[in-house]
C-alpha cells in the first residue's frame, strides 16, 4: 500500500491509537513538536465484536487534525488515509471470517514504529507506512446482494458494495480512492503466507484495487451476478471476453447491427487467431439455429438493444437454443442499462457494459465491465491480468459516484426519449423513427416483455439528404455533437459522418447507415426545453 503523509503537528507524547469507538477527544496539539510517533493498538475484544462482517475499529484523530494538514500533505495523502489502511488489516483478520494467519503474519497486531518527525524537514511531513493486507471485498465481507432489506435497483445503486460490503474500514460515507500501483508486505513470511493462500491481500495494482472492487460489487448487485470485472473501456471488456472464452478454431455468432469497432474486431482480428464468425439479423432465430447446427459455436454475442437501430434480441429464447448446443451467450446491455433489462435473469451467461455510458453517466470517465458466474469471470480476469487494461482507481470512484444516481437518470431519460419518439414519429420532416418503445418497432412486443424501460437513445431518419440532416443537427442548441451517449448532457450525432465517414456511401449502406440517420441520446435536461429545441431545429430544414 502506498505510504501516506501527514504534517508534524503533535508532541512526543501524542499518538494515534486504533480504538473500537469514534472518540475524537482528548488529544493535545502543539505547533512545533520535536518529534511524533504513531502507535497502533488493537482492542483485544475487537475480534468478538463486529456487525455484518465489519469491525468498528477506527482511528482516533485529534479534533483539528484535518485543519493541521498542510496543502502539500493533503495533496500527497490518498483519500483512504492512515486509519483505513491500518484498521482494514486488523478488522479483516479479526472479524471477517478470513482464516487465521499463521505466526509468520501474526505481527499485524504489534505496534508499528514510524520515523519521528524531523524538525525543519521540507514540507513539514512525516511518512507513515500503510499496510498491504487489504483483502478483496468478497474474501472477508458479505456482498450486499446477499442482504434482504434492499429490494429496489435504486437502493442497490446507492448502497451495494458499500453499506455492508466495503473492504475499506472508514467512517467516510463515500468510498475512498486508493491511489497506489502496488501493495507491500512487512516481511517475507507475510508474502509467503499470501502466496500459499493462508492470508488475503492485494499485491499489484493491475490485479486489483480496493476502490475498484467496490465498483465491481455494486455492478454485480445490480445485475444479480456472482462476479463482475471492471476494466479500462467497453472495448477492452469485449475483446478480453472473446480471447478468453473462444478457443482457436472456435466460432462466434453475432448480429448485423452492432457497434462498429466490435464488428471490426470480430471480422479482422479474431480470424488471425483461428476464430471464425457468422453474422445474422438480430431477430433471425432460424439463422441462429442454422449456425449452431453447422458450426461448433463457442459464443453468441450481441447487443440488445443494438447500435444504432435499437433492435432487440429474445434473450430467453436464444439462451435456450445456444445452451442446448453448448454455446455461451453474452449480451451487451449498454443501451438497455441494468435498470431497464436484466440479461442474466433472462438466461444469458454474461452481460457486458460500456460503463462509459449510462453507468458512469456524466461523460467524464472511460470504463467497461463484464458480469456473470465467478468461474467465467475468473477465466477472463486471468487474461486481463496478463493483458493489462486495468481501470484507474480515480475512474472507479467516478463510476461509483455516477451509479448512485443511475436509476434517477435512467427514469428521466426513458421518459424524455419515449415522449420525443412519439413526437418525432408524427412529424412530417422525420421519415422514420427507431425506438423499441414505439408500436412500429419490429421488436416492440419483445421489448415490452424483457425490458422495464426502453432507454434514452432514439435514432431517426430526417426526410432529406446528408446536407439537410447536417442543417438539422447544426440548428440544435442543447445537445453536443459528439460520440458516446448515456450521460447527463444530451448528445447528437450523424453516424454516416461520426462513425462511418471513412467508408463510401455505398459501403455505409451495406450496414444500413444512411446519410440522413440521426442518433439522439437524451440527457436529463427538462423535457420541454429539449422538445422546443428539436422542433425549432426541424423548422430550420
- Local confidence pLDDT in tens for the 541 residues of the chain: 343 333 333 333 433 333 333 333 433 333 333 333 333 333 444 333 333 333 334 444 444 444 444 333 333 333 333 333 333 343 334 333 433 333 333 333 333 333 333 333 333 333 333 333 334 433 333 444 445 577 789 888 888 888 766 777 678 889 999 999 999 999 999 999 999 999 999 999 999 999 999 999 999 999 999 999 999 999 999 999 999 999 999 999 999 999 999 999 999 999 999 999 999 999 999 999 999 999 999 999 999 999 999 999 999 999 999 999 999 999 999 999 999 999 999 999 999 999 999 999 999 999 999 999 999 999 999 999 999 999 999 999 999 999 999 999 999 999 999 999 999 999 999 999 999 999 999 999 999 999 999 999 999 999 999 999 999 999 999 999 999 999 999 999 999 999 999 999 999 998 899 999 999 999 999 999 999 999 999 999 9
User: Do residues 108 and 184 lie in contact, with contact meaning Cβ atoms separated by under 8 Å?
Assistant: no
Angle at 100 between CA 95 and CA 101, to 5 degrees: 125
Which of 145, 357, 381, 514 is labelled catalytic?
Answer: 357
Q: What is the dihedral of CA 176, 179, 181, 183, to 10 degrees?
A: -50
User: Is-catalytic flag, 49?
Assistant: no
CA distance 34 to 55: 34
| 283: phi then psi, degrees, rounded to nearest 5 | -100, 5
CA distance 340 to 265: 28
User: Is-catalytic flag, 75?
Assistant: no
User: Do residues 39 and 110 lie in contact, with contact meaning Cβ atoms separated by under 8 Å?
Assistant: no
The number of beta carbons lying within 10 Å of the beta carbon of residue 170 is 19
CA distance 189 to 158: 39
**Residue 518: its H or E element:** strand 517-521
CA distance 182 to 390: 13
Q: C-alpha grid cell for residue 272?
A: 488471425
**Residue 28 burial (10 A CB sphere; 0-12, 13-18, 19+):** exposed
CA distance 537 to 541: 7
Pairing mode, strands 368-372 and 480-481: unpaired
pLDDT at 151: 79
Domain at 406-540: CATH architecture:
Alpha-Beta Complex (3.90)
User: Is-catalytic flag, 259?
Assistant: yes
pLDDT at 160: 84
Pairing mode, strands 251-255 and 297-303: parallel
**Residue 277: its H or E element:** strand 276-280
Which of 124, 332, 349, 493 is labelled catalytic?
Answer: 332
Which of 19, 186, 206, 325 is labelled catalytic?
Answer: 206
Q: C-alpha grid cell for residue 278?
A: 457468422
pLDDT at 115: 35
Residues 6+ apart with CB under 8 A from 38: 15, 16, 82, 112, 114, 128
Pairing mode, strands 480-481 and 491-493: parallel
**Which residues of 74-210 form beta strands (DSSP E)?**
125-128
**Three-state DSSP string of 282-312:** CCCHHHHHHHHHHCCEEEEEEECCCCCCCCC
**Residue 427 burial (10 A CB sphere; 0-12, 13-18, 19+):** middle
User: Do residues 205 and 179 lie in contact, with contact meaning Cβ atoms separated by under 8 Å?
Assistant: no
User: Do residues 417 and 377 lie in contact, with contact meaning Cβ atoms separated by under 8 Å?
Assistant: no
Domain range annotation of the chain: 153-404, 406-540
pLDDT at 171: 83
Residues shown for the chain: 541
Q: What is the CATH number of domain 153-404?
A: 3.40.640.10
Which residues are registered as beta bridge partners of 51?
54
Which of 259, 434, 435, 511 is labelled catalytic?
Answer: 259
Q: What's the whole-model pTM score?
A: 0.73
User: Is-catalytic flag, 419?
Assistant: no
pLDDT at 477: 98
457 backbone φψ class: left, alpha, beta (φ>0; ψ -120 to 50):
beta
User: Do residues 14 and 191 lie in contact, with contact meaning Cβ atoms separated by under 8 Å?
Assistant: no
Q: Note the helical H segments in 185-314.
A: 188-195, 210-223, 234-245, 260-264, 285-294
Distances (CA, A) of 372 to 42, 188, 304, 335, 348: 38, 36, 17, 18, 9
Q: How many CA atoms lie within 13 A of 40 on its CB side?
A: 24
Amino acid at each position: 500500500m502506498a505510504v501516506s503523509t501527514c504534517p508534524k503537528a503533535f508532541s512526543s507524547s501524542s499518538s494515534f491509537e486504533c480504538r473500537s469507538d469514534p472518540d475524537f477527544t482528548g488529544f493535545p496539539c502543539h505547533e512545533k513538536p520535536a518529534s511524533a510517533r504513531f502507535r497502533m493498538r488493537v482492542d483485544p475484544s475487537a475480534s468478538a465484536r463486529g456487525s455484518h462482517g465489519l469491525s468498528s475499529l477506527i482511528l482516533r484523530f485529534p479534533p483539528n487534525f484535518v485543519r493541521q494538514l498542510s496543502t502539500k500533505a493533503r495533496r500527497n495523502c490518498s483519500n483512504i488515509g492512515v486509519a483505513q489502511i491500518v484498521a482494514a488489516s486488523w478488522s479483516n483478520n479479526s472479524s471477517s471470517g478470513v482464516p487465521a494467519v499463521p505466526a509468520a503474519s501474526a505481527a499485524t497486531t504489534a505496534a508499528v514504529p514510524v520515523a519521528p518527525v524531523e524538525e525543519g524537514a521540507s514540507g513539514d511531513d512525516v511518512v507513515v507506512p500503510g499496510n498491504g493486507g487489504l483483502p478483496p471485498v468478497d474474501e472477508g465481507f458479505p456482498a450486499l446482494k446477499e442482504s434482504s432489506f434492499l429490494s429496489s435497483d435504486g437502493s442497490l445503486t446507492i448502497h451495494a458494495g458499500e453499506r455492508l460490503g466495503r473492504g475499506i474500514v472508514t467512517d467516510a460515507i463515500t468510498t475512498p480512492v486508493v491511489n497506489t500501483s502496488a501493495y507491500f508486505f512487512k516481511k517475507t513470511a507475510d508474502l509467503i503466507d499470501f502466496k500459499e493462500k493462508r492470508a488475503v491481500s492485494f499485491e499489484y495494482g493491475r490485479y486489483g484495487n480496493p476502490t475498484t472492487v467496490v465498483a465491481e460489487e455494486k455492478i454485480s448487485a445490480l445485475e444479480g451476478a456472482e462476479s463482475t470485472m471492471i476494466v479500462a473501456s467497453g472495448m477492452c471488456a469485449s475483446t478480453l471476453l472473446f480471447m478468453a472464452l473462444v478457443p482457436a478454431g472456435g466460432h462466434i455468432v453475432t448480429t448485423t447491427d452492432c457497434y462498429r469497432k466490435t464488428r471490426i474486431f470480430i471480422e479482422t482480428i479474431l480470424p488471425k487467431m483461428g476464430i471464425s464468425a457468422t453474422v445474422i439479423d438480430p431477430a433471425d432465430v432460424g439463422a441462429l439455429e442454422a449456425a449452431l447446427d453447422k458450426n461448433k459455436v463457442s459464443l453468441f454475442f450481441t447487443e440488445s438493444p443494438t447500435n444504432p437501430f435499437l433492435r432487440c434480441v429474445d434473450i430467453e429464447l436464444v439462451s435456450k437454443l445456444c445452451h442446448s448446443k453448448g454455446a455461451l451467450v453474452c449480451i451487451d446491455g449498454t443501451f438497455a442499462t441494468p435498470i431497464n433489462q436484466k440479461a442474466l435473469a433472462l438466461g444469458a451467461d454474461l452481460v457486458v457494459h460500456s460503463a462509459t455510458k449510462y453507468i458512469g453517466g456524466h461523460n467524464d470517465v472511460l470504463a467497461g465491465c463484464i458480469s456473470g458466474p465467478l468461474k467465467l469471470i475468473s477465466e477472463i480476469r486471468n487474461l486481463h491480468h496478463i493483458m493489462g487494461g486495468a481501470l484507474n482507481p480515480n475512474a472507479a470512484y467516478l463510476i461509483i459516484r455516477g451509479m448512485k444516481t443511475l436509476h434517477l437518470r435512467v427514469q428521466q431519460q426513458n421518459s424524455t426519449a419515449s415522449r420525443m419518439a412519439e413526437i418525432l414519429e408524427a412529424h412530417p420532416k422525420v421519415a422514420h423513427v427507431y425506438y423499441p418503445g414505439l408500436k412500429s418497432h419490429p421488436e416492440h412486443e419483445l421489448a415490452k416483455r424483457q425490458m422495464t424501460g426502453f432507454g434514452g437513445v432514439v435514432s431517426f431518419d430526417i426526410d432529406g439528404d446528408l446536407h439537410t440532416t447536417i442543417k438539422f443537427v447544426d440548428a440544435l442548441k442543447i445537445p453536443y455533437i459528439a460520440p458516446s451517449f448515456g450521460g447527463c448532457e444530451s448528445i447528437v450525432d450523424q453516424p454516416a459522418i461520426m462513425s462511418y465517414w471513412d467508408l463510401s456511401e455505398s459501403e455505409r449502406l451495406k450496414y444500413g447507415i444512411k446519410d440522413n440517420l440521426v442518433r439522439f441520446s437524451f440527457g436529463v435536461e427538462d423535457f420541454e426545453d429539449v422538445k422546443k429545441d428539436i422542433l425549432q431545429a426541424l423548422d430550420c430544414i
